Structures are given as structure tokens and as C-alpha cells.
Structure 1
């Protein structure tokens, strides 16, 4: 009897599948229920039979759950197809509204047929996201249109009108973010980008005035028209302050330029004195046209004037500055570039060696501060000059060299030896490698002006 019932149950299962394939879901459900009833009877009445199978009963029950849920699932699929058609026709609001019904049906399916394979929490979440996306798409398209129009106006030079379009786009993006926070089009970054574009366009005239004044200040300083430069420094300070207050997100805001102008404004009454001190002490480097080098090491007095403090351990205005690391030496050169209106940098090794000149018949004691005497730091130019008139290229303090390496952990060079070196060491023109943040009482620097 158990075998007969089992074979009949299998037959009902096959019939159910055939009916399902023919889309006769009601009959398919009835057939699978009969298969379940037969298998349950075997399990209860013939527990020791080889046809008793609790796993098969569980499988049949899952199949029943699937068949019960399938008509609803099929209905959901049909609705989704309609949603896709509306999407293709760009009827975003209608598509979003229809998705409300799809979501309700999927929610019901998940609740009433939670054990069915067709219950799908991830799909429900996906439908909700799609609905928010479709409902927010009209706003998104308006924003894109406004931004594209603004970009085109910028290309035509109509900055004020472009600024108005960017502002409208920013307002709509804010509305989208507020109303559809779960939309993939919701974006704080886009708000910030539109604000930057809006303020950059709106500040165009002021920004170009700042750029022009900056260019003219460099030119006036380079040509030593210092009264003109001072007047323009005051004007650009006011312009930068206005830019900062009225257009804080504009791309014309430049922290590097602000640092430069603030520095020039701070020392504007000393610019003439600084330039005089520099120009009188510059000498052209042999075989290096267009390159002039300071004939002495940078003094503590000059360093303090430019940077505002003196880091040296051996203090004296006329002594070379020391205990300055490579980065700080470059910062000094950058600030002096602002004052001169010319590029100022550390010397390259070949420039430094050209300035030294040949040493074959040179009696170093006359030119070098080394440990052959008192082994201590001395004032600038206390010995005779080398080459074309450069003092202390060898000895006194070793000097930082230019490096165009971009990595912080790359070592840098200093050259020339120092007061604690022996004469025969200095004669070899020693070049030493250290970290960029190395700070030593034995290392200073000088600079070149291009």
C-alpha cells in the first residue's frame, strides 16, 4: 500500500509540474496538495517503510508555497514590465506611481509567503530605491539642463547669467536632496560643486582683477617700480578680502596667493631695503647665463627679516644662518621670490661648483673656515672670496642644494663642508646626503636668482 501511495504521489507531482508549465496554476496547486496528502499519509501510517520521506514532504510543501505565491509573483513581473515601458517613454512620475503598487504586492508576497522561494527582501528594497530614483529623475534632468546651459554661457563669456543658472541648479539640487534623500541623484558633493561654479562665475570680474594685480605686482617688483607695487599690494589686499567675504567658495580663492599677498603687505615698507641688499650682493655664476648667486651665505639678519625669527644656535646678525632644514630654506627662497618678482631657489650642484672654480693652485687657508683654526662659526666674508667673488663656498657652514624630488622621504644634499671639517676634507668639496627635515648647526644655505 505504501508503494502504491508513493507512486501516486509522484504522479500527482508530475501532473502539477505539467499544469504549471501550461499556466494552469489553480489545477497545479490542487495536484501538489494531493501529492502532499499522499506523502503525509505514508509518513504517518507507514513510518518504517522505505517510502516514508520527511525530506520529500518538506520539498513538496516548499513547492506548494511557491505555487501559491507564483500568480502574485507573475503579476508583479507584469507590473514591472509596464514600469519599464513608462521609463522608456520617460514618463518618470507615472513609473514611480505604478511602482507603489508593485511595492505593495511584493510586500504582501514577502509577508504572506515568507517561506516561499519567491519572497525577496532584497527585491523589495531595490524596488523602493528605483521608485525614489524615478520620482527624482525630473528634478535631476532639470538640474543637468540648467548646469549645461550655464556651462555654455561661460564658454560665451556671459558669467553673470551663468551664475544665475548655476544658482537655480543648486536650489533644485537642494530640493532633490531634501525631498528624495534616498535617491542615487541626492548629492551633497554636487551642491558644493554647483556652489563653487556659481560663486566662481559671479566673482569673475573681481577674480580677474586679482589675477591682473598679481601679475602687475610681480612685474613691478621685478622692474623695481616699488611705489607702483606698494599701491597695487594695498589694492589686491582689499580685493582678496572682498573675495573671501562675498565669494568664499569661488575657485578664485587661492590660499597660496593669500599667503604671498599677506606677506608682501606685511613687509611692503621694507621691500626697497631688502631688494637693495640682495642686488648689491648678487654675482653672475660663471658659465651659467641668467643665473646670479648670492656672494655670501644667507645672514641671520636677512633670514630674520624674511622669516620673522632666527633659529641659529650661534647668534650674530652677520653670521650665516644655521639650524635651518631644507624645507625651511626653500620657504625662505619662496618668500624672497615674492619680494623680488623673480624666481629664487637653492643652487644646483653644477652651479655651485661653477661658482667655486678650479682649486688646483688655491691655498685653502685663505678662503676657508675650517677646524684648522678655532673650529667655530665666523662672520660672513671673513676670508677671501673664491672664483668671481663668492665668499665661504667652502667651509663655515655646509650649504643646502636644490632638489626637484617630489617624495618626502627622498634625501637631499648639502655641499662645501663646514667649520668643523678638516682642510683636506673641504678640498674634496664634500657632498653629503641627509633627510629633508635635518636641522644642524653645521648647515646653512645661499640662493640663486634666475
Structure 2
């Protein structure tokens, strides 16, 4: 028991001491590393040791005196503002001797180093003064030579000016002599001089390329355009900061090259499209569809392979596809148009059974046309709506026609134009339109609150049902139906009670028409471009005397009023 407890305490002690042992080992390792670097590390290899001379060495004193004398010689000339070659040379010797002093006397104080910096600055400033004057003259001469068109000589002057300005900027001269902006402008000027011949050569190649294209020498044009593009690309790459750089110009040249490569294909596209158009005119729809398909594939090839060519056109692909589908749909569209005419004839002759049989076939052709050829120009949305409407009314066709024809009378003097005896009743309007906008509802009451556009839609649908033209009568035709009578029974402001009444309740005129005056005003024909249309005949709101004058009121076609309805005219 005692042994086990002893082992337990020993393990606990070792575990606690482990961290301290690791820290101690780390410190020992760092100490060994420091000793190695301090004693065994790199040393000066080769060469003779520097001789350390004592500060009071007579040679040092003599050298210092020489430097002082040389500096004084220069300073006297500088103070007299007559710096000469000799005085400058004296300053240069002073610099060299000061460097020698610092090399020889390794423990020289800070003043000696400061003295060297001052001497070097003064020497570089003296030299820079002359260089700056020379840069001015070289730059001016270069600009004059450029103006004279002597590009090579100008380049030499500008390059020398740039070299000198760089020397000044890199020297220890005073900052007033340094000009980094000038160095930049000279760099650009030199680059422009070097780029100018390339630009001239590029422009000559471009002129040759355009002339070759005009002469339809496509191979020569392609070669010249390629040379021009390559030279412009070089200018952009090597002289990108000059005025001759033109990234957009290089892109345009690349586009011209691609256009030339695609020109042959573009010509073939034109030929095939023209042949397809001719085939359509001559009734060869299948052949036209093949030609349009070939042209479309070629245009797709141009778009994919020559994306920067001027012949690239997504719209042309779309147009060719429309032409292809139009050609392919011709047979179906022609059959559908024949069926439409045949159904119209059957409905006009009231041959309902024959019309119903062909309506089913027409519906199938319409769906095939819209499903298989959705981009065809032969698609007729109105025709699709028409057949969909007639399909919904197939079972009611006979009843609808009977309802309408029972209410028609010939317009006096025009036997094949039939006018509705009364205003359109709500029962008929609902049968045709499947809706009733009237605010005074009743099956036998005239439909009210219809706009002129609603009346037009009613006429259109009734035209489909009857297979003939149905429209609003004109104001003149309305007056023809009235005849020359001067007395009428009307629903007016005195007897109407302020609302409309059932159609046909008042006595008809000599021609058999009722409610031409009073009850509801009636929309009449108007030009489709006009914003207003006349409402004729007056209504239950008018005085009897006013109705005898056959009132006509222009109203906005969008108006809906409870005292306005309609009457229709059928052309057989």
C-alpha cells in the first residue's frame, strides 16, 4: 500500500516538473546558439587589413590641409561668380582627397563624413548646372528638327537630353537642378520619335489594304491589313504612352481581318438567301426552306469563328429562321386560309353542318401552325382567336344565326344590307360576347354602357358567326332607316321614367324599325384613327322635340354611358 502511494506521488511530481525541464532545455539551446554565432560565425576573408592611423598623424593633417586649400580655391571662384574648369577640377580633387582621408582614417568623426557629402553635393551641383543648360539646348534643337521633319536627327538630340537629365536626377546635386517631370516628358518624346516611323509605315500599309479591298484583291488586302495590325500592336506594346498608341485602332484592324476572312462566307449567305427569296416567289416553299436553313448555318459559323467581323449578326440568324419557318409553314397556312374562306361561305349560306365539320379540321391546323412554326410570318393571331371562338360556339351556331336573322330588315334602297330592327338586346349581346356590361339589366332591354370599342368587338364576333361583314351603321345610313317621317313614338324624358325600356315596344316606322329615336343613343361608324365617334338618335334623357331633330353627339370611343347602346348592319 505504501509502495503504490509512493509511485503515485512520484508520477505526479514528474508530470509537474516536465514543463520546467522543457523551458530549461530551451534556454540552454539558445545559449549554445549564441556562443556559436559569436565565436564560430562568419569572418572577413582575404585582403589586407585596414591600417588604422592615429588622429594626430602628420599625413592626415597634411591631407586635410590640401582639401581645405582646394575647397578655398573653388570657393573664391564661386564667390566671384566665375566658376571655371580649373575651379571645378579643384573641387573634384577635394572630393577625391576627402574620400581618401575617410578610407585611411577609419575612425574619422561625423564632421569628416558630413564634409564629404557637402563637397559631393557642391561638385554635382556645379556639373548639373552645365548639364541643365545643355538639356535645354538639346531639347529645343530636337523640337525644331521634328518640326522640319528630320526625325532621326531629332531622336539623337532628344536621347542625349534624356541621358543628361537622368544623370542630374540620379546625382547628389541640389534639388533645384533635378526635374523628374522633364525626364518623363523627354522619355515620352524619345518614345514618340521612335514610334513615328512605325506609325507611318502602319498607315501606308493601311492605305494599301483599303485600296486592295476596293479593287477586290482580297489576298493582298488581307496581307496588308495583317501587317498594319501587327505594327499597331507593336506600337501599343512598346510605345503605349505616346500619341501613336491606339488600342481601339488595333481592334478595328483585327475586325477588318476577320471580316476579310469571313467575306467569302458572307457572300455565300447573300446568294443563298436571295435564292430562297426567289424560290418563295415562285411557290417552291420546300426548296426555299432548305436554302434559308443553309444560309442560317453559314451565318452561325461566321458568328462563332469570326466574332469581331462586321458580318457578325444575331439578327440575321433570327431573320433567316423566320424565313425558314415561314416557307415551311406555307402549305399549312394556305390550307388554313382555304378552310377559313370555305367556312365563311358555309356560314353565310347558313350551311351549319358543313361549317361545323370543317371547324374541327381548321382548329387542328391552327394548333399545328402555331406549335411547329412559332416564328412564321404566316401566323395570324386573329385567325387563331376566331377559330377558337367558333369552336366554343359550334353547338349554338344555328340558334345564334336564327336569333340574328329574325331581327334584321333590309335597309331601304339597299336590298343586300340588313339593319337590326331594334337596338341590340341584352339577350343577343350575352349570347355573342358571354358578358353583359349593362347597368339597367334585363334580357329584353337594350344593352347599355358599351364603349365604341365594345361595339366593334361585338360586330367582329358576329361577323365570324354569320360568315359575312357585320358593322355599325353610319349616321347617313341611320337617317335612311328613319325615312322621311315626322312623327315617331319614342321613349323620351317625359315618358321613360329616367331609364331604358324593352326593345320593340314602341310602334315601328314605315320601314319596320323601332327605337331609332329615343330609348338609347346608338354608336355609329367612325374612322379607326379618330378618338371620337358619333352617338345618334338621342335617348330617354332627351325631350321629344329634340329627338325629332335626330341628334348626333360625338363622344370618346372609350365612353360607357347607361343611355348609349348600339344597332348593327349586316352586309350580305
Supply the RMSD in Å over aligned alpha carbons: 3.4
CA distance in 1, matches of 2:481, 2:208: 83
Matches within 5 A, 1:148-159: 148-159=274-285
Match of 2:12 in 1: none
Report the counterpart of residue 403 of structure 1 in structure 2: 526
Q: CA deviation at 1:369?
A: 4.5
The answer to whether residue 392 in structure 2 is matched with residue 266 in structure 1 is yes
Counterparts of 1:440 and 1:12 in 2: how far apart (Å)?
A: 90
Q: Say whether the 8 Å CA contact 1:399–1:444 is kept in structure 2.
A: yes
Q: Which runs of 5+ in 1 are unaligned?
A: 49-53
Is the contact between residue 9 and residue 39 of structure 1 (CA under 8 Å) also seen in structure 2? Answer: no
Give CA-to-partner distance per residue, 1:259-306, whole Å, 9 cap, x none. Answer: 111111111222222222222222222244542210111111111111
**Inter-CA distance 247–10: structure 2 relative to 1 (3 Å threshold):** closer
Deviations 1:39-64 (A, max 9, x none): 999xxx9xx9xxxxx99999887654
SS of alignment partner, residue 535 of structure 2: strand
1:335 CA displacement: 0.6
Q: Where do residues 180-329 of structure 1 align in structure 2 (5 Å cutoff)?
A: 180-288=306-414, 290-329=416-455
Q: Specify which structure has the bigger relative contact order, considering alpha-carbon pairs within 8 angstroms and separated by 6 or more residues.
A: 1
Shift in Å at residue 80 of structure 1? Answer: 2.5
Are 1:355 and 2:355 matched, yes or no? Answer: no
Which whole-Å CA distance do the structure 1 matches of 2:200 and 2:563 have between them? 85
Contact 2:142 / 2:153 at 8 angstroms: preserved in 1?
no
The equivalent of 1:51 in structure 2 is: none
Distance in 2, matches of 1:283 and 1:124, equals 80
Matched, 1:368 2:494: no
Q: 1:293, 1:120 → 2: CA distance?
A: 77
Aligned to 2:563: 442
Residue of structure 2 aligned with 1:381, choices 480, 498, 504: 504
Task: Return the structure number with greater helix share.
Answer: 2
Contact 2:326/2:375 (CA < 8 Å) preserved in 1?
Answer: yes
2:139·2:157 contact (CA, 8 Å) conserved in 1? Answer: no
CA contact (8 A) 1:163 1:197 kept: yes
1:377-420 CA deviation, whole Å, 9 max, x = no partner? 1111010012401111111111111111315xx12221111122
Query: How many residues are aligned here?
Result: 439
Among residues 542, 547, 552, which one is paired with 1:426 in the alignment?
547
The separation in 1 between residues aligned to 2:515 and 2:491, in whole angstroms, is: 6
**Contact kept in structure 2, 1:6 and 1:39, CA below 8 Å:** no
Matches within 5 A, 1:32-111: 32-33=158-159, 64-84=190-210, 87-88=213-214, 99=225, 102-111=228-237
Tell me: CA distance 1:167–1:12, structure 2 relative to 1, closer, same or farther (3 Å).
closer
Instruction: State whether structure 2 residue 458 is matched by structure 1 residue 332.
Output: yes
Distance 2:181 2:336 in 1: 81
Distance in 1, matches of 2:474 and 2:243, equals 74
TM-score by length of 1: 0.85
Give 1:439 shift.
Answer: 1.0
Larger Rg: 2
